[in-house]
Homo-oligomer: A and B are copies of this chain.
């Protein structure tokens, strides 16, 4: 589930291949989502149906389905008769995302601590490994990939916790977080310091749910603290003109 799609044809297009006979809208959604949370697609940009369709070599019908899915996740905003735009979350939305995570994730940690098994631990280890590998690389591409990998850790946690509904919620929250971090992240190191994920995993392995929950809460706070959520966001006009 966490495993990302294969990217075997990445070279041809900024977006890559649709895997075989399977659902193509699904595949397009994945590709677009990755592009959005990697910020290869800038927030606010318009996604023209025909254009995306040409890129993926499908009809607008399929593209529309993919865009609709993304709009449910909050990664795309669809305005009637106007089109689909990459989401451009406001600081307020960003705060709400993190509020939601602060509420949900510690509870997931507690559940996960009670259910975690050897297989899960191995998966976590794998995720941490990949993450640190990316962290030691430099370059914006690596940093974006790191943000995604970091998200995988949290998704893994949600998966282990065993509640499918909350898992879906977390999918959405993690995706939105990634976008927010890419948008408002300040320091290069989004979740830097010493690796908090590792500490959380350690607590989980000890089946110490409450501690895992506490660590997770602090972790989320750290992530949010690294953001610059001051309202630089332009626009409201009357505000923009005040004092000039």
Contacts and interface: CB of A to CB of B under 8 A. Distances in A.
A238 interface: no
Interface residues of A, number: 25
The binding surface of chain A is classed by DSSP as helix
Contacts of A100: 163, 165-166, 169
Nearest to A95: B163
Interface string A38-57: 00000000000000000000
Interface in A73-124: 74, 80, 93, 96-97, 99-100, 103-104, 107
Contacts of A129: none
A23 B79 CA distance: 11
Contact of A68 (B65, B80, B166): B65
Given A69-B72, A165-B173, 19 more contacts: A23-B80, A61-B61, A65-B68, A68-B68, A68-B69, A72-B72, A74-B165, A93-B164, A93-B165, A96-B164, A96-B166, A97-B165, A99-B163, A99-B166, A100-B169, A103-B107, A104-B104, A165-B176, A169-B169
Interface of A: 23, 61, 64-65, 68-69, 72, 74, 80, 93, 96-97, 99-100, 103-104, 107, 163-166, 169, 172-173, 176
